C-alpha cells in the first residue's frame, strides 16, 4: 500500500481569560472542515487546537474570580473542550500550555536557544535592560506610535510602563532569511495581501523580549530563576511540543512541517515573523503555509464583553443544531475577508438553504421513492465533475463557494422536480428515470458535504444507500 500523505493543521491556542465565543469557533470550524476534507481524501491528518494559559492577563482573570491560576485555567480549558465537542470538532489533540509535557519541552527549547548561534554568529538570546509600554490585553509591548490618546487602541487601556531585565531574541539576524522565504513562498502566507503585510512589517520589527521578570504565572527559564518565558514564546512552541518536540520525535518527524497554521490577522506578526525566527534558530523547517483570515464584527460592532454582543457558539447550536451552525458560520461570507456577521439573518438563511432547501429536497425525493416502492440503486463516491469543482474551491480556501456549488446542484434537482411533477406520474419506469439521477445527485452532494455537516451528510447517505429507501424525517425543522 502506498504511504498515506500527511496533513498537519492548527488553530491558534486560545487565551483562557475569556470563554470561547464565535470568533474562536469560526477558526476552529474552518480547521475542522479542512481536517475532515483531507481525511476523506485519504490523508493522515493531525488537527491541533488548544488553550494558551500563561501570562499576566490570565493571572489577572483568575484573581478577579478569586481562584488560583491553575484552577481557573482547568475550568476554562474544560469549557473549551466541551464547546468544541458540541460543534463536533474532530481535533486529534488538545494542547494546554500548562500541560506538564509542554512545560518541560518549552524549557528544553529555551536551553537550545540559549546555546544556539544566529546565522551571523551571535548568541540567539541575550540579556538586556528593557523599558517599554506593555499592554496586558495584547500581551505585548507597544510603541508610542501605536497608542491612541495614550491608550492601546484595541483595549482602550493605558499600557503599563515597564522597566526590567529581560532576555532578548536577536531577531535582527534573521530578518533577511525570513524575508526571502516569505517572498519566494517557501514559507507561504495567504492570502497575498497578508504576505505583503508581513513583508512590510519586517522593516519595523526589532529584537524582541522572550522572558519577563515581573510575571509570576509562566514557565521558568531553565537557566535563570528570575525569569519566566514570555507568553508568546511558550504559546508558539505548542505547535511543535504537541508533536513531542524535542523529547519524543515520533509524531514530530511524521507531521512537521505544519501544512497550515490558521489564524486571524490580530496575531500575524507573531506567526509570520517571531515564529519562523524561532524555528530557524532551532534548526527546524518553516511552516509550509499560514492562512490569515479577517476579523469579523457582529452586526457592525467589534465583539466584546463591554458591548454585550459576545455570542456563545452553544447559543447557536441549541437554536439551529450543530451542522446548521457550522453551515451558517461558513456560508455567510468568503473566508479570509473582514466581514460582518448579521445574526438577524441567520433564521432566514437557515430556512431558505437548509429547511426549504436541502431538507425539503431530501424529504420530497425519499417520499416519492418510498410511496412508489421504487428500487433505486446508486453509488457513493467517485470522481465526479462536481467533486473536481468542489475540491478546487476547497484547495483555495473558498468555503462559501464550495458550498454554493453544492447548493446549485440542489437547485437543479428542485427544478427538475418542479418541471416534471413526478407526483403526477404513475408509471414506475418513467418515475425511476426522473428520480434515480436526482437521488444520485443528492448522494454526491451529501458525500461532499461531509466535512461541513458531518451528521446531516451521514444521515442522507444512510437513507439513500439503504436497501429500501424510506421517507426521511425532517432534517431541519423550520424556524
Ligand atoms: N493565545 C493567542 C494565540 C496563540 S497561538 C500560538 C491568542 N488567543 S485569542 O484567544 O485571542 O485568539 C485569537 C484568535 O481567535 C484569532 O486569531 C482568530 O483565530 C480567533 N478570533 C477571535 N475573535 C475573532 C473574530 N471576531 N473574528 C475572527 N476570528 C476571531 O491570540
- Whether the bond between 402 and the residue before it is cis, its omega within 30 degrees of 0, is no
Whose Cα sits closest to atom 23 in ligand 1? 23
Where does 136-286 show beta strands of DSSP type E? 140-142, 160-169, 188-190, 208-209, 211-212, 220-221, 224-229, 260-264
Q: Which of 83, 102, 135, 432 is catalytic?
A: 135
269 located within any domain: no
Residue 266: the pLDDT is: 93
CA 275 to chain centre: 18
108-122, 329-343, 351-365: segment of lowest average pLDDT = 329-343
Indicate whether 62 belongs to any domain: no
Q: Is the pLDDT of residue 144 over 90?
A: no
Nearest to 281 by CA among 196, 421, 167: 167
Q: Give me the torsion for CA of 140, 143, 149, 150, rounded to 10°.
A: 70
**Substitution candidate for ligand 1 out of 30, 53, 266, 302 with most atoms within 8 A of CB:** 266
Is the Cβ–Cβ distance between 166 and 227 less than 8 Å? yes
pLDDT digits (tens, 9 = 90+) for 381-398: 877 899 999 999 999 999
Higher pLDDT, 288 or 140: 288
- Please report which residue ranges of 144-258 form alpha helices under DSSP H: 175-183, 192-201, 231-236, 238-241, 250-255
Task: Give the per-residue pLDDT at 414.
Answer: 97
Residue 187, Cα to own-chain centre: how many angstroms?
19
pTM above 0.85, yes or no: yes
Strands 220-221 and 140-142: unpaired
Instruction: Please check the confidence at residue 303 and state whether its pLDDT lies above 90.
Output: no
Residue 306 binned pLDDT confidence (cut-offs 50, 70, 90): confident
Interval 160-169: pLDDT, tens? 998 889 999 9
Cα gap 128→20, rounded to integer Å: 37
Is the beta carbon of 58 within 6 A of some atom in ligand 1?
A: no
What are the grid coordinates assigned to 318, written together?
A: 441549541
**What is residue 98's predicted lDDT score, i.e. its pLDDT?**
98
> Residue 233 contacts by C-beta under 8 Å, 6 or more apart in sequence?
106, 109, 110, 169, 210, 211, 274, 278
**Looking at 19, 107, 138, 165, which residue is catalytic?**
138
pLDDT at 307 over 90: no
Structural domain count, the chain:
1
Residue 158 DSSP class: P
Three-state DSSP string of 302-365? CCCCCCCCCCCHHHHHHHHCHHHHHHHHHHCCCCCCCEEECHHHHHHHHHHHHHHHHHHHHHHH
Residue ranges making up the domain that contains 438: 344-464
Does any domain span residue 407?
yes
Q: Is 151 a member of any domain?
A: no
CA of 336 to the centre of ligand 1 (A): 14
- Ligand 1, atom 15, lies closest to the CA of 24
User: 49, exposed or middle or buried, with CB in 10 Å at 0-12, 13-18, 19+?
Assistant: buried
- Beta strands at 224-229 and 220-221: parallel, antiparallel or unpaired: antiparallel
Q: Does 102 qualify as catalytic in the annotation?
A: no
Q: Choosing from 6, 155, 175, 319, which is the catalytic residue?
A: 155
Residue 428 counted as domain residue: yes
Angle at the Cα of 404 (from 400 to 409), degrees rounded to 5? 155
Atom of ligand 1 nearest to the CA of 18: 10
CA–CA separation, 433 vs 339, rounded Å?
Answer: 44
Cβ-based neighbour number of residue 5 at 10 Å: 12
73 tagged catalytic = no
Backbone angles phi, psi at 81, to 5 degrees: -60, -45
Mutate to test the pocket of ligand 1, among 24, 278, 337 (most ligand atoms within 8 A of CB): 24
What pLDDT digit, counting tens, does each position of 399-439 carry?
Answer: 999 999 999 999 999 999 999 999 999 999 999 999 999 99
| pLDDT of 1 | 64
455: pLDDT confidence band, cut at 50, 70 and 90?
A: very high
Cα–Cα distance measured from residue 300 to residue 320, given in angstroms and rounded to the nearest whole number: 22
The angle that helices 428-449 and 360-371 make with each other, rounded to 10 degrees, is 140
* Averaged pLDDT of the chain: 95
- The rounded distance, in Å, linking the Cα atoms of 14 and 77 is 9
Band of residue 440 on the pLDDT scale cut at 50, 70, 90: very high
pLDDT top residue among 94 and 302: 94
Q: Give the whole-angstrom CA distance, residue 7 versus residue 256.
A: 9
pLDDT-derived band at 301, boundaries 50, 70, 90 = confident
Tell me, yes or no, if 379 is annotated catalytic. no
Per-residue model confidence (pLDDT) at position 279: 98
Q: Looking only at Cα atoms, what is the longest distance across the chain? A: 88
Nearest ligand 1 atom, CA 265:
17
Q: Is the CB of 446 under 6 A from ligand 1?
A: no
Instruction: Please tell me the predicted confidence (pLDDT) of residue 156.
Output: 87
Which burial class, exposed, middle or buried, applies to 143 when counting CB atoms under 10 A from its CB (0-12, 13-18, 19+)? Answer: exposed
The CATH number covering residue 425 comes to 1.10.730.10
Q: Is residue 390 part of a domain?
A: yes
pLDDT at residue 343, rounded to an integer: 86
What is the tens place of the pLDDT at every residue in 468-479?
999 988 999 999
Segment holding 256, helix H or strand E? none
Total residues found in the chain within this entry = 479
157 strand-pairing partners = 152
Q: Residue 241 falls within a domain, yes or no?
A: no
Residue at 250 is within a domain = no
Spatial separation of the C-alpha atoms in residues 96 and 238, rounded to whole Å: 8
Q: How much is the pLDDT for 80?
A: 98
Determine if the peptide bond prior to 246 is cis (ω within 30°): yes
Catalytic residue among 21, 38, 54, 432: 21
The question of whether 24 is a catalytic residue gets the answer yes
CB 223 within 8 Å of CB 111: yes
Q: How is residue 3 written as a grid cell?
A: 504511504
Q: How confident is the model at residue 289 (pLDDT cuts 50, 70, 90)?
A: very high
**How many angstroms separate the alpha carbon of residue 375 from the centre of ligand 1?**
51
Amino acid at each position: 500500500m502506498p504511504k498515506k500523505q500527511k496533513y498537519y493543521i492548527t488553530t491558534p491556542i486560545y487565551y483562557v481569560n475569556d470563554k470561547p465565543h464565535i470568533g474562536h469557533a469560526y477558526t476552529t470550524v474552518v480547521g475542522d472542515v479542512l481536517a475532515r476534507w483531507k481525511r476523506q481524501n485519504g490523508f493522515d491528518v493531525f488537527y491541533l487546537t488548544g488553550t494558551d494559559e500563561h501570562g499576566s492577563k490570565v493571572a489577572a482573570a483568575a484573581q478577579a474570580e478569586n481562584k488560583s491560576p491553575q484552577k481557573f485555567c482547568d475550568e476554562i480549558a474544560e469549557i473549551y473542550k466541551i464547546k468544541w465537542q458540541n460543534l463536533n470538532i474532530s481535533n486529534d489533540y488538545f494542547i494546554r500550555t500548562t500541560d506538564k509535557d509542554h512545560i518541560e519541552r518549552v524549557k528544553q527549547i529555551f536551553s537550545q536557544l540559549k546555546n544556539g548561534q544566529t546565522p551571523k554568529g551571535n548568541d540567539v538570546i541575550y540579556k538586556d535592560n528593557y523599558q517599554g509600554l506593555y499592554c496586558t490585553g495584547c500581551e505585548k509591548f507597544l510603541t508610542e506610535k501605536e497608542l491612541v490618546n495614550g491608550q492601546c487602541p484595541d483595549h482602550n487601556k493605558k499600557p503599563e510602563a515597564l522597566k526590567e531585565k529581560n532576555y532578548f531574541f536577536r531577531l535582527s539576524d534573521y530578518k533577511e532569511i525570513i524575508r526571502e522565504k516569505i517572498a519566494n513562498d517557501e514559507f507561504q502566507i495567504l492570502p497575498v495581501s497578508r504576505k505583503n503585510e508581513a513583508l512590510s512589517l519586517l522593516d519595523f520589527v526589532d529584537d524582541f523580549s522572550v522572558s519577563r521578570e515581573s510575571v509570576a504565572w509562566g514557565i521558568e527559564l531553565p537557566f535563570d530563576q528570575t525569569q519566566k518565558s514570555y507568553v508568546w514564546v511558550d504559546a508558539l512552541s505548542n505547535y511543535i511540543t504537541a508533536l513531542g518536540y524535542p523529547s519524543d520525535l515520533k509524531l514530530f518527524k511524521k507531521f512537521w512541517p505544519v501544512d497550515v497554521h490558521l489564524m486571524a490577522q490580530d496575531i500575524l506578526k507573531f506567526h509570520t515573523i517571531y515564529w519562523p525566527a524561532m524555528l530557524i534558530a532551532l534548526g527546524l523547517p518553516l511552516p509550509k503555509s499560514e492562512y490569515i483570515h479577517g476579523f469579523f464584527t457582529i452586526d457592525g460592532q467589534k465583539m466584546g464583553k463591554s458591548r454585550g454582543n459576545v455570542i456563545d457558539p452553544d447559543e447557536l447550536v441549541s437554536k439551529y443544531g450543530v451542522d446548521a451552525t457550522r453551515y451558517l458560520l461558513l456560508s455567510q461570507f468568503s473566508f479570509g475577508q473582514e466581514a460582518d456577521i448579521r445574526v438577524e439573518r441567520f433564521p432566514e438563511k437557515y430556512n431558505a438553504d437548509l429547511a426549504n432547501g436541502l431538507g425539503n429536497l431530501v424529504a420530497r425525493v425519499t417520499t416519492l421513492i418510498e410511496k412508489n416502492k421504487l428500487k433505486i440503486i446508486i453509488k457513493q463516491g467517485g470522481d465526479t465533475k462536481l467533486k473536481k469543482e468542489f475540491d478546487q474551491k476547497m484547495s483555495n480556501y473558498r468555503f462559501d463557494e464550495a458550498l454554493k456549488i453544492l447548493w446549485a446542484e440542489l437547485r437543479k434537482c428542485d427544478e427538475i422536480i418542479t418541471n416534471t411533477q413526478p407526483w403526477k406520474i404513475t408509471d414506475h419506469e418513467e418515475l425511476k428515470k426522473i428520480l434515480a439521477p436526482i437521488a444520485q445527485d443528492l448522494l454526491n452532494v451529501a458525500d461532499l458535504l461531509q466535512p461541513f455537516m458531518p451528521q446531516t451528510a451521514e444521515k442522507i447517505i444512510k437513507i439513500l444507500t439503504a436497501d429500501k429507501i424510506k421517507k426521511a424525517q425532517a432534517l431541519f425543522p423550520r424556524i
